[in-house]
Structure formats: structure tokens, C-alpha cells
Structure 1
Amino acid sequence: MQLLKGRVSAICGTHTHVGTDDQEITDGTYYVTDIGMTGCRDNVIGMESDIPIKKALTGLGGHFNVPNNCKSIMQIAIIKIDENGKSNDGFKIKIYDDKEEVISHCIVN
């Protein structure tokens, strides 16, 4: 963040599949460590669990399959950017399969 702070509108990390709510805006740059995955939340990285667990335990891979039924989650970050390209507000929305919504607002420094 330090290298790009104030020089870019946003820095959004992803791919750990576990969303963080550590959002902040500093010097006009929005930051979140991990937006989080959208997909099945009760499996391993959104896939049926047998092959990923087998790979982790034995090193032997296989085809990862998306389950037909699962508890799902959608995560998205919404960032407001002004006419100068600076972020001035942001929040993250998580929507679960049971329609529960969690909205987390960012800290503006």
C-alpha cells in the first residue's frame, strides 16, 4: 500500500478465498486485503472437498468439481471515486444464500 498510496484509486486483493473487512481509504486510495470469493462457502475453495483434501495430503491432483448444491456467498466492494480519481468512500457487501446481507464500511484516514 505504501508504494501506491495516493497514486492509484484502489488496491483490492483477492484469491485467498477468505474475505477481510480491513478496508480503509488513505490519501485517496481505497485498500482491502481480500475482497473474498463468490461461490460455494461450505467446501474447499468453492469445490467439492475430496480432491483438494487429497491433493493437500498426498500431492496427487485430480479434477476439481463445483458442487451441484452448496451454501453460497457473493462478495463485492463498491468504491466511490471523485473526478480527480481519488477514492472518497467505499464499502463491502456480502450476500449469503439465505438472503442475509452484511455491509461493512471502510475507514477514511
Structure 2
Amino acid sequence: MTTSKKYRDRIYIVKDIILTLSEYGQLNQTSLFSFCGLNISKHKQILDNLEQNEIIERKEIADGKRTITLFKVTNKGMNFCHEILEPYEKLFPRSGKSSDSSLNLGCILFI
């Protein structure tokens, strides 16, 4: 029995990260990547980019000899999710099918 992994666009990975952090409040990197079904070595750059753009924030807590790094979504990140990512997913659902088949928008993606 072979299992095929489905490809997930970067924009949906970003949305999953934001929604997971908003659901749990704050998570360490391992938990966050596990809940989102991501690979740390492959997707760490996305986390770094989100932090650079102030979509999420990183907080380091000293716990004896080790440091625990926690991530949480910022207000800017929640606004980005509501204003950009949710409307994008309504236009381009993950299944590839439009919820309104009579809607013909052509190509109007602004980046």
C-alpha cells in the first residue's frame, strides 16, 4: 500500500500556521509543525518569513539550561488572515472547485 502526499500551496501553509496558533494561543516549533503537518527542515523558512513580516512573534523562555521558543500570532497576522487569506480561499478553494460555478473571475490575483 503506497501513500501519496498531497501538495499544499504556500499560501495554505501560511493560513494553517496562523489558524493553528490562534486556536492554541502559543506553541513551540515542534508542536506547531506537527499540528500543521509540516516538516521542520523544509518549512522553517516560512516561519522565519512570517516572523520577519510581523505576522507571528517568537518568544524565548529560559528553562534551566535550555531555552524554549514559543510562537504566537500577532494582531497583524489575524488581520492578514481575515482580510487576505480567507477571501483568497473562497475564490480558490483547496479542492480546486469553486463554490459558485457561475462566477467567472478570470485571473485577478494581486501580489
Q: What range describes the TM-score normalised by the shorter chain of this pair?
A: under 0.3
Higher strand share: 1
TM-score when normalising by structure 1 = 0.26
Normalized per residue, the structure richer in helix is 2
Q: Quick check: which has more Rg, 1 or 2?
A: 1
